Structure 1
Amino acid sequence: MRPAADQRKRVPSPSVAFTVLERGLLFFLVWLVLMPSAKVADLAVGLLATALATWTSLRLLPPASGHLRLGALLAFVPHFMWQSVLAGVDVARRAFDPRMPLRPGFVVYRVGFPPGLARNEYTVITSLLPGSVPAGDVEGAIIYHALDTSQPVVEQLAEEERRLSTALISGDHHD
């Protein structure tokens, strides 16, 4: 019988060329959004900035340590934006309605992402959930401060983890 570690599904690391192309395209698209100009000089500066940003990203996050599934990430963006709006509305509603019951406290969530890039991304995203904010971590878990512990905080965190998992292929991501 093989050890459990050998039975885990392994995700092949992306090729360096694919990673360079993918990141370069994303950086150039960001440049176009920030500098929507048709001037040749601006495009030349954009290409130079794209090359430098791509080179820096490859140094800081080598291809073997993970990448995003672009399509899944794009599908994740509307959900992320909506959650950000809900978080703002929820906090404002609680601040202006003194009858709103608050049951503040801490919730511990056992996250499937090990310490590293994917877990950090998850923590940043979940910091925007309505009424909760990451407040620390312990072995294998993140501690969240919640405005109302009677709400389904753990279920929301699990849903966010599932959604983010579909957008990531990462060397430090769980299978």
Structure 2
Amino acid sequence: MMTKAIAARFTFFMGVWLMIADWKEEDLPIGFAASVLALWISLSLLPPTAVGLRLAPLAKLIIRFLSLSIIAGVDVARRALLPRHDLRPGFVALPFTLPSGLARNVFLVYSSLQPGTLPTSAEGATLRVHGLDISQPIAASVQADEALFGKAIRHE
């Protein structure tokens, strides 16, 4: 697993370098050195972990994310353009099952991309989410996302 992670990361960094350098052959030595340095930093800051992705739940998660982003984006725009503001901002606390670590952090980043809601804290088994309208089913939506995310990364 470590060899695959090293090869994948090095390939990624070298590819980025080649795009930046406009694929010039004379830039390969410095690009190789920069990629090795980026690889070393990457492995130091984020060691490889065993994550098994399930493609079907991951595809469902991506489709859910895209569709909810569009719906929520339209809702936020509608609320912003209305002459009267029908917002009920507030916080919702809900149970959180993902353990501390990389999986939890990735899920929180994923959740923060949804318009209208923002995770504000994840302490222990409680997640606090700020919502623009707490009359909406924020808790149910976040819990559904967490369950699907857990299935996608094989953490059930």
Count of aligned pairs = 154
Q: Offset of 1:100 from its aligned partner? A: 4.9
Q: Compared with structure 1, are the counterparts of its residues 49 and 78 closer, same or farther at alpha carbon in structure 2 (3 Å cutoff)?
A: farther
User: Equivalent pairs: percent with the same residue?
Assistant: 40
Alignment partners' CA distance in 2, 1:25 and 1:44: 15
Specify the alignment match of 2:25 in structure 1: 40
- Report matched runs for 1:150-161 at 5 Å: 150-161=135-146
Specify the alignment match of 1:105 in structure 2: 90
Task: Check whether the contact 2:54–2:151 (CA below 8 A) recurs between aligned residues.
Answer: no
Alignment partners' CA distance in 2, 1:80 and 1:93: 20
Where 2:94 maps in the other structure, the secondary structure is strand
Instruction: Mark the runs of 5 or more structure 1 residues left unpaired by the alignment.
Output: 1-14
Specify the alignment match of 2:6 in structure 1: 20
CA RMSD in angstroms, aligned pairs only: 3.2
Instruction: Mark the runs of 5 or more structure 2 residues left unpaired by the alignment.
Output: none
Q: Offset of 1:27 from its aligned partner? A: 2.8
Alignment partners' CA distance in 1, 2:53 and 2:142: 21
Alignment partners' CA distance in 1, 2:135 and 2:15: 43
Specify the alignment match of 1:134 in structure 2: 119
Where 2:127 maps in the other structure, the secondary structure is strand
Q: Compared with structure 1, are the counterparts of its residues 44 and 158 closer, same or farther at alpha carbon in structure 2 (3 Å cutoff)?
A: farther
- TM-score, length of structure 1 as denominator length: 0.67
Alignment partners' CA distance in 1, 2:55 and 2:34: 24
Task: Check whether the contact 1:37–1:43 (CA below 8 A) recurs between aligned residues.
Answer: no
